[in-house]
C-alpha cells in the first residue's frame, strides 16, 4: 500500500513540476525510459541518471510523512547525492537545493552532455549570453 501511495505522490509531483527535478531543474522520465532515450539520444546508463524519484523533503526516518506537502520529484542523481554518505545527516532540502544550484552555476553538477542534449537548461550568470550594448 505504501509503495502505491509513494508512486502516486511521485507522479503528482512530477506533473506539478512539469517533469523537472526539484533540485536541478533537469528533465526526467517517469515510467518508461525508452522515449527519453530516443528523444535525447542517450544510453540506458545516461538515462538512468534522470529517472524521476520521490524525494521526501523531510525523510521518513525523521518523521516526514508520505504527503503531497512533503514529496517532490527529483532526478535519481540529485536524490542519491543528497543521501550519499552513510551515517551522515543529509542537508535540509533548502540548503541542498541551494548547493545544487551553486554547483549548476559552476557547471559541475551534471556532465556537459546533459546540457548539450537539452536535458538541463540551466542559465547561470556565467552561462548567460551577454546583454546587447545599450546606445548612449
36 in a structural domain: yes
62 lies in which domain range? 2-116
25 in a structural domain: yes
The Cβ of residue 12 has, within 10 Å, a number of other Cβ atoms equal to: 14
Partners of residue 51 on adjacent β-strands: 29
18 in a structural domain: yes
At 135, the pLDDT band (50, 70, 90 cuts) reads low
Is the pLDDT assigned to residue 10 strictly greater than 80?
A: yes
Cell of 82: 543528497
Model confidence pLDDT, tens digit, residues 34-68 = 999 999 999 999 999 999 999 999 988 889 999 99
The span from the CA of 109 to the CA of 112, in Å, is 9
Number of domains in the chain: 1
pTM metric for this prediction = 0.85
Dihedrals φ, ψ of 77, to 5°? -60, -50
Cell of 35: 522515449
At 1, the pLDDT band (50, 70, 90 cuts) reads low
59 in a structural domain: yes
The span from the CA of 106 to the CA of 104, in Å, is 5
Amino acid at each position: 500500500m505504501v509503495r502505491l501511495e509513494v508512486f502516486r505522490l511521485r507522479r503528482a509531483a512530477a506533473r506539478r513540476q512539469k517533469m523537472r527535478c526539484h533540485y536541478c531543474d533537469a528533465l526526467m522520465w517517469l515510467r518508461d525510459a525508452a522515449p527519453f532515450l530516443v528523444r535525447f539520444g542517450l544510453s540506458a546508463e545516461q538515462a538512468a541518471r534522470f529517472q524521476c524519484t520521490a524525494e521526501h523533503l523531510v525523510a521518513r526516518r525523521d518523521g516526514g510523512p508520505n504527503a503531497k506537502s512533503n514529496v517532490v520529484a527529483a532526478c535519481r542523481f540529485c536524490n542519491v547525492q543528497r543521501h550519499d554518505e552513510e551515517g551522515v545527516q543529509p542537508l535540509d532540502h533548502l540548503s541542498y537545493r541551494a548547493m545544487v544550484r551553486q554547483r549548476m552555476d559552476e557547471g559541475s553538477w551534471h556532465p556537459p552532455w546533459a546540457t548539450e542534449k537539452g536535458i538541463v537548461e540551466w542559465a547561470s550568470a556565467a552561462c548567460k549570453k551577454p546583454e546587447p550594448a545599450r546606445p548612449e
